[in-house]
Amino acid sequence: MDKLVAVSRLQGLAAVVVLCLALLYLARGLKDPLRSIPGPFWAKLSGAWIILLDLSGNRSTTIHDLHLRHGPVVRIAPNQLSFSSTRALKDIYGANSKYTKAEIYESLGQKGIFTTRDRDEYRVAKKRVVPSFSQASIAQMEDMIHGHVANLVKCLDKRLNIPLDVLPWFRIFALSVVGDGFAGKSFGGLETEKTPQLLLDLDAVFPSLWVWWMFPTTSKILQYAPVKAIRDFLRAGDDFNQYCGNAFYEYLLHVDPAGRHDLIAKMLNERDELKGKTSDIPRALTDKGIIDEVTNLVFAGTDSTGNTLSYLFYELSNQPKWQLRLREELKDVPTSHRYNVVAELPILEAVVQEILRLRPAAPASLQRITPDTGGVIDGVVVPPKTIVSCQALTIQRNPLIFPDPDTFNPQHWLDVDGPEQLETMRNHITVFGKGARACLGRSLATMEIKLATAALITRYNVEIGGVTTHNDMEMACHFVLVPKGKQCILKFTPVL
Are the C-beta atoms of residues 463 and 493 closer than 8 Å to each other? Answer: yes
Contact with ligand HEM (CB under 6 A): which of 241, 304, 443, 461? 304
The reply to whether 248 sits near ligand HEM by the rule CB under 6 A is no
Report the alpha-carbon distance of residue 394 to residue 399 in Å, rounded.
Answer: 10
Contact with ligand HEM (CB under 6 A): which of 444, 454, 457, 490? 444
The reply to whether 437 sits near ligand HEM by the rule CB under 6 A is yes
Contact with ligand HEM (CB under 6 A): which of 186, 308, 443, 469? 308
Q: At what angle do helices 197-214 and 236-254 cross, to 10 degrees?
A: 130
Report whether 439 belongs to an annotated binding site: yes
Considering only 58-66, 136-144, 302-310, 398-406, which stretch makes contact with ligand HEM by CB under 6 A?
Answer: 302-310
Contact with ligand HEM (CB under 6 A): which of 297, 395, 473, 490? 297
**Which residues 120-149 are close enough to bind ligand HEM by CB under 6 A?**
126
Query: Which residues, listed in sequence order, are joined to residue 376 by a DSSP beta bridge?
Result: 381
As measured in angstroms, the least distance from the Cβ of 442 to ligand HEM is 7
The reply to whether 114 sits near ligand HEM by the rule CB under 6 A is yes
The residue whose Cβ lies closest to ligand HEM is 441
Cβ nearer to ligand HEM, comparing 410 with 465? 410
Contact with ligand HEM (CB under 6 A): which of 247, 263, 312, 445? 445
**Total interface residues for ligand HEM by CB under 6 A:** 23
Site string for ligand HEM, 163-192 (x = CB under 6 A): ---------------x--------------
**Which residues 362-421 are close enough to bind ligand HEM by CB under 6 A?**
362, 366
Cβ nearer to ligand HEM, comparing 44 with 354? 354
Cβ nearer to ligand HEM, comparing 44 with 105? 105
As measured in angstroms, the least distance from the Cβ of 78 to ligand HEM is 22
Cβ nearer to ligand HEM, comparing 32 with 121? 121
The reply to whether 432 sits near ligand HEM by the rule CB under 6 A is yes
Q: Quick one: three-class SS letters along the chain? A: CHHHHHHHHHHHHHHHHHHHHHHHHHHHHHHCCCCCCCCCHHHHHCCHHHHHHHHHCCHHHHHHHHHHHHCCEEEEECCEEEECCHHHHHHHHCCCCCCEECHHHHHCCCCCCCCCCCHHHHHHHHHHHHHHHCHHHHHHCHHHHHHHHHHHHHHHHCCCCCEEEHHHHHHHHHHHHHHHHHHCCCCCHHHHCCCCHHHHHHHHHHHHHHHHHHCHHHHHHHCCCCCHHHHHHHCHHHHHHHHHHHHHHHHHHHCCCCCCCCHHHHHHHHHHHHHHHCCCCCHHHCHHHHHHHHHHHHHHHHHHHHHHHHHHHHHHHHCHHHHHHHHHHHCCCCCCCCHHHHCCCHHHHHHHHHHHHHCCCCCCECCEECCCCCEEECCEEECCCCEEEEEHHHHCCCCCCCCCCCCCCHHHHCCCCCHHHHHHHHHCCCCCCCHHHCCCCHHHHHHHHHHHHHHHHHHEEEEECCCCHHHHCCEEEECEEEECCCCCEEEEEECC
Cβ nearer to ligand HEM, comparing 113 with 234? 113
Report the alpha-carbon distance of residue 96 to residue 432 in Å, rounded.
Answer: 18
The reply to whether 361 sits near ligand HEM by the rule CB under 6 A is yes
Contact with ligand HEM (CB under 6 A): which of 73, 81, 205, 431? 431
As measured in angstroms, the least distance from the Cβ of 242 to ligand HEM is 19
Cβ nearer to ligand HEM, comparing 308 with 409? 308
Cβ nearer to ligand HEM, comparing 208 with 305? 305
Are the C-beta atoms of residues 421 and 410 closer than 8 Å to each other? Answer: no
The reply to whether 439 sits near ligand HEM by the rule CB under 6 A is yes
Cβ nearer to ligand HEM, comparing 236 with 297? 297
As measured in angstroms, the least distance from the Cβ of 174 to ligand HEM is 7
Q: What is the CA radius of gyration of the chain?
A: 25
The reply to whether 113 sits near ligand HEM by the rule CB under 6 A is yes
The reply to whether 440 sits near ligand HEM by the rule CB under 6 A is yes
Cβ nearer to ligand HEM, comparing 165 with 293? 293
**Which segments are annotated as binding site for heme?**
439
Interacting residues with ligand HEM (CB under 6 A): 113-114, 126, 178, 297, 300-301, 304-305, 308, 361-362, 366, 431-433, 437-441, 444-445
